[in-house]
Amino acid sequence: MADKLIIFDTTLRDGEQSPGASMTKDEKLRIARQLERLKVDVIEAGFAASSNGDFEAVQSIANAIKDSTICSLSRANDRDISRAAEALRGANSARIHTFIATSPLHMEKKLRMTPEQVLEQAKQSVRFARNLVADIEFSPEDGYRSEPDFLCRVLEAVIAEGATTINVPDTVGYAIPELYGNFIKTLRERIPNSDKAIWSVHCHNDLGMAVANSLAGVMIGGARQVECTINGLGERAGNCSLEEVVMAIKTRRDYFNLDLAIDTQHIVAASRMVSQTTGFVVQPNKAVVGANAFAHASGIHQDGVLKARDTYEIMRAEDVGWSANKIVLGKLSGRNAFKQRLQELGVSLESETELNTAFTRFKELADRKSEIFDEDILALVSDESVTSEREQYGFVSLAQQSETGEQPRARVVFTVDGVEVRGESVGNGPVDASLKAIESHVKSGAEMVLYSVNAISGSTESQGEVTVRLQNSGRVVNGVGADPDIVVASAKAYLSALNKLQSKADRVAAQG
Ligand code: KIV
Ligand code: ZN
C-alpha cells in the first residue's frame, strides 16, 4: 500500500506575506473554498494574532470550510496560541502551527535568546497549545540552518510534549535537494520519538529549488507532508508551488509511489483565482498553470502531438483544468445561468444585493464584449464594488481626452466613504492623467512601484486586467482592476490599492 502525502497549503498565510499580496477576508474565504474543492488536506488560513482582520479571516474560514483541516500560525507564546485557538473554534478539524527560530543567527540576533531559553519556550508553547487543540504542528524557524544537535533536542522535546507534525523550514531557501533530504533523514534517525510525528517540508524558492528540495525531503527524508502555495506565491522568490509538486507526484507515480487526495481538475481555476486576487501575474512559461504550459508552437511538436499526444505531452491539459476554459455566457444569458456559473466557479456572493450588482455588471460587460469567459466572471466578482463590505474608495466614472500632439487630460468621479467627489488632471498619457486625477483629491502620497496590464482572454476585445502596486510608510499593497477600457481598469486598480493601504494599517509583522 502506498503512503499518503499530506498537502498543506499556505497561500493564505505564507503566500500572503509576499509584499503586496495581502487579501481581504472575503478574498481569503473565496480562495479557501477553492482549496477545499481542490481537496487540500490542510489550509493554513492565516496568522490569527497578527491583526483583527486576520483573526476574522481565520475564523470565517474555520466556520465555512468543512472538508479540510484549518490551521492558524502562531508564535510560540500563550497569547498568540490562545488567539489561534479562539479563531479556530468553529472548525470541524483544527490545527495550531506554532514556531520559534532555532538557528544560531536567528536566536542571537533576532530573538536575543539563549538556546536553553528557546528550548524551554518551544516546550512550554506546545504543552499550552496541546491543551487547546489536539492537532499541533511545530516549526523550528530557519530549521535548515540550525545546529543538528540542538535541533534534535528541541524536536524530541516538542514531540514529547505532544506535537503531532514536525515541519522543517528552509526559511531562506538555502538548501540543496540531496542535502535537505539527508538533513531530514538524519533528524528522523537520531530523534528517538521521531515516529510519533508526521514530518513535513517547507521550502522557499530563493535559489529556484523549492519544489526539488521538497521532493527530496519526501523521497530521501521520508517526509509525508509538503507545505506549498498556489502559483508558488510567497515572500521574496516564493514558496514551493502546489501545482508543480502535485503534478510531479501524480505524473511520476512510478517513482514516488505516493497517494494524494488532490482533485487536480481544479488547479487552473485556483491558479487564476489567486493571480487575479493578488495581482501576481503567472508567467506564460510557468509549469502546469502558465498559458504556454500545454501550447505547442513548433511544427514538429504540433505534428507529433496530433499523431500521438504523448510524443510531447507528459500530462493532459484537461487533467489540471485547462478545458474548463470555455465560453460560458453571453448577453442573452439570464440571471439563473449567471448564478449557476458563479456556483460552479465556487463563488458565493453573500447577499441578493451582491448578486444583483454582479449581474448588472455582467450585463454591462456582455453589451461590450460578446464572449464572456470564466476569467471575466472571476474578475468581475473580484471587483470590490460588487463583493466587499463598504470600502473607503469606489469607482464611479471616468472621462478622458487624448490626441496625438496634445497633453492627455482626465476627469475621474469616485466615492470617498460613499460621497461622490471628482478629480481632474493632465498627465503623460491617459492612464497617468487618470491616476493623477484621483491622487489630486486623495493626496495619499503613495509611491507607485509597479504598474502592469494583462489581457484576461486572448483578443483585443478582451478585458484588460491592471495591477497597481503602491508603497506607503513601509507598507506595500497590490490593487487589481478589470475593464474592457484599460484606462478605467487602471483607475479601478488604483482605488483598490488605496483601499488596501487603508485596511492594512493595523497588521503586525508576521515573524518575530
Ligand atoms: O519559512 C518559514 O520558516 C515559515 C515558518 C513560520 C514555518 O514560514
Ligand atoms: Zn515560510
Instruction: Give the nearest ligand 1 atom to 17 CA.
Output: 8
Q: State the number of CA atoms in the 13 A half-sphere of 492 facing the CB.
A: 25
Evaluate: CB of 275 within 6 angstroms of ligand 1. Answer: no
CA of 150 to the centre of ligand 1 (A): 18
Evaluate: CB of 408 within 6 angstroms of ligand 1. Answer: no
Residue 409's beta-bridge partner residues? 401, 426
CA of 341 to the centre of ligand 1 (A): 37
Q: Is-contact 260 3, C-beta < 8 A? A: no
3-state secondary structure 407-473: CCEEEEEEEECCEEEEEEEECCCHHHHHHHHHHHHHCCCCEEEEEEEEECCCCCCCCEEEEEEEEEC
The reported pLDDT for the residue numbered 421 is: 96
Question: 324 is written with which cell numbers?
Answer: 474548463
Residue tagged 487526495 (cell numbers): 261
What residue owns the CA closest to ligand 1's atom 5?
A: 141
The reported pLDDT for the residue numbered 218 is: 98
The reported pLDDT for the residue numbered 297 is: 65
What's the rounded Cα separation, in Å, for the pair 405 and 92? 64
19-22 long-range CB contacts below 8 Å, 24 or more apart?
Answer: 19/235, 19/476, 20/278, 20/279, 20/280, 20/450, 20/469, 20/476, 20/477, 20/478, 21/233, 21/278, 21/279, 21/280, 21/478, 22/477, 22/478, 22/500, 22/504, 22/507
CA of 107 to the centre of ligand 1 (A): 15
Fold of 390-502: Double Stranded RNA Binding Domain (3.30.160)
Q: Is-contact 398 412, C-beta < 8 A? A: yes
CATH number of the 3-278 domain: 3.20.20.70
Q: State the number of CA atoms in the 13 A half-sphere of 288 facing the CB.
A: 26
Instruction: Give the nearest ligand 1 atom to 14 CA.
Output: 8
Low-confidence ranges of the chain (pLDDT < 70): 296-297, 323-328, 346, 348, 350, 382-390, 457-458, 503-512
Which of the listed residues 11, 42, 111, 141 should we mutate to test ligand 1's pocket, taking the one with most ligand atoms within 8 A of CB?
141
Evaluate: CB of 99 within 6 angstroms of ligand 1. Answer: yes
What's the rounded Cα separation, in Å, for the pair 338 and 342? 6
Instruction: Give the nearest ligand 1 atom to 171 CA.
Output: 1
What residue owns the CA closest to ligand 1's atom 8?
A: 14
Q: State the number of CA atoms in the 13 A half-sphere of 211 facing the CB.
A: 16
CA of 55 to the centre of ligand 2 (A): 19
Phi-psi region of 17 (alpha: psi -120 to 50; beta: other; left: phi over 0): alpha
Q: Is 204 annotated as a binding residue?
A: yes
CA of 227 to the centre of ligand 2 (A): 9
Task: Count other C-beta atoms under 10 Å from residue 85's C-beta.
Answer: 19
Instruction: Give the nearest ligand 1 atom to 73 CA.
Output: 6
CA of 153 to the centre of ligand 2 (A): 22
104: nearest Cα among 141, 79, 78 = 141
Residue tagged 491617459 (cell numbers): 430
Interior CA angle at 447 toward 443 and 449, to 5°? 150
Which of the listed residues 73, 165, 226 should we mutate to test ligand 1's pocket, taking the one with most ligand atoms within 8 A of CB?
73
3-state secondary structure 234-264: CCCCCECEHHHHHHHHHHCHHHHCEECCCCH
Q: Is 202 annotated as a binding residue?
A: yes
The ligand that comes nearest to the alpha carbon of residue 172 is 1
Question: 316 is written with which cell numbers?
Answer: 493532459
What residue owns the CA closest to ligand 1's atom 1?
A: 171
State how far the alpha carbon of 210 is from the alpha carbons of 187, 203, 207, 227, in Å. 20, 5, 8, 10
Q: Is 3 annotated as a binding residue?
A: no
Instruction: Give the nearest ligand 1 atom to 139 CA.
Output: 7
Residue tagged 490545527 (cell numbers): 95
Non-local (6+) Cβ contacts of 201 within 8 A are: 167, 168, 170, 180, 184, 213, 214, 217, 218, 221, 223, 225, 226, 227, 240
Per domain, the residue ranges of the chain are 3-278, 326-385, 390-502
User: 41-64: buried (b, 16+ CB within 10 Å) or exposed (e) per residue?
Assistant: bbbbbbbbbbbebbbbbbbbbbbe
Reading across the β-sheet that carries 409-416, which strands appear in turn?
393-401, 409-416, 419-426
CA of 260 to the centre of ligand 2 (A): 22
Q: Is-contact 338 361, C-beta < 8 A? A: no
Evaluate: CB of 141 within 6 angstroms of ligand 1. Answer: yes
Q: Is 239 annotated as a binding residue?
A: yes
The reported pLDDT for the residue numbered 339 is: 86
The reported pLDDT for the residue numbered 221 is: 98
CA of 208 to the centre of ligand 2 (A): 15
Element at 183 (helix H, strand E): helix 177-190
